[in-house]
Structure 1
Amino acid sequence: MEAVFKTWKTSRSLLLEFFDQYSLAQLNKTPDGFSNNLIWNLGHIIVAQQALIYKGSGLEGYIPDRLFALYKPGTKPTGQTTQEEVNELKELLTSVIEQTELDFHKGKFTTYNERMTGTGFYLSSIEDAFEFNNYHEGLHLGLMMNIRKFV
């Protein structure tokens, strides 16, 4: 699992750069031909991790329900994300890693609700969920690398 955490931390450090390299207007811009924007992808990555790891284990996560409503799978940007919310997402992007890793090492994840993801991956354990989370975040990082060319 240490390799999974190492990969996750590296991915999140790459994602963190988007907050510093793009203005609020650029984070919010949905380019022609795209269904979402940079900030939606960042919010979605945070929400999806909490759903995969915590909700999948029958546990409460560490993000507010209002963020789940805005960024869960099947959503798209609904308006302009404020600077205040951008700051909140930036903080959550890294803080949830530390908390999740701590919870894992404390043995907090004792069960996992097996399921098939929307993309056809079968998750039967918390380890599967962590592996899939890294895959999922990589997909969104790739999308964001395309979006940034047009903002």
Structure 2
Amino acid sequence: MEKLFETALFTRSSMLNILEKKPYKELVKIPENFRNSIFWNIAHLLVTQQLLCYRLSGLDIRIEEDMVKKYGKGSIATEDVEVSDIAYVKDHLISDMKQTQKDYQKGLFKEFTPYMTSTGIELKSIEDAIGFSTYHDGIHLGIVLSLMKIV
């Protein structure tokens, strides 16, 4: 499990670096033939990890519900992004993953509601959720890197 957390933190550090270096207009730009932006992809992985790990374990998520509405599965990306949302994601991207790692090590995740992902992968345990979340982060890093070539 430690390697999964190490990989997730590496991916998120890469995303944080992008958030810190790219100007606002590039972060929120939705290029033609795309459905979302660099920022939406990064915010989306933050939300998804919280839902998969905490909510499916019957625990409170560590992010604001408003973020789930704006950046969760099925949300619609917009170029009208509040600067405070970007700051929020910057603040939580690494710290929430580190907290998940601590909570896992403490044995906080005792229950888990099985979940079928949209990619057809069934999650049956917190370990499955952490593994899938890390995989999901990598997919969205790839999308972000593609978007960076266009904006």
TM-score (ref. length: structure 2): 0.96
Tell me how far apart the structure 2 counterparts of residues 87 and 22 of structure 1 sit (CA, whole Å): 13
The letter for the 2-side match of 1:138 is G
Between Structure 1 and Structure 2, how many residues are aligned?
151
Would you identify which runs of 4 or more consecutive aligned residues in structure 1 move more than 6 Å? none
The letter for the 1-side match of 2:142 is G
Residue 124 of structure 1 pairs with residue 120 of structure 2: no
Q: Which residue of 2 aligns with 1:78?
A: 78
Q: Which residue of 1 aligns with 2:8?
A: 8
Deviation at residue 21 of structure 1 after TM alignment: 2.1
Deviation at residue 79 of structure 1 after TM alignment: 4.2
Residue 136 of structure 1 pairs with residue 130 of structure 2: no
Is the Cα contact below 8 Å between 1:40 and 1:76 reproduced in 2? no
- Report matched runs for 1:1-150 at 5 Å: 1-150=1-150
Tell me how far apart the structure 1 counterparts of residues 76 and 92 of structure 2 sit (CA, whole Å): 20
Unmatched runs of 5 consecutive residues or more in structure 1: none
Identity level (%): 36
Tell me how far apart the structure 2 counterparts of residues 66 and 149 of structure 1 sit (CA, whole Å): 30
The letter for the 2-side match of 1:62 is R
Tell me how far apart the structure 1 counterparts of residues 97 and 51 of structure 2 sit (CA, whole Å): 14
CA root-mean-square deviation = 0.9
Is the Cα contact below 8 Å between 2:36 and 2:78 reproduced in 1? no
The letter for the 2-side match of 1:110 is K
Deviation at residue 94 of structure 1 after TM alignment: 0.9
The letter for the 2-side match of 1:43 is A
TM-score (ref. length: structure 1): 0.96
Tell me how far apart the structure 1 counterparts of residues 46 and 115 of structure 2 sit (CA, whole Å): 20
| Greater CA drift, 71-80 or 57-66 | 71-80
Output one character per residue of 1:14-66: Cα deviation in whole Å (capped at 9) or x when no partner.
11111122101110100111000011011100000000100110110110000
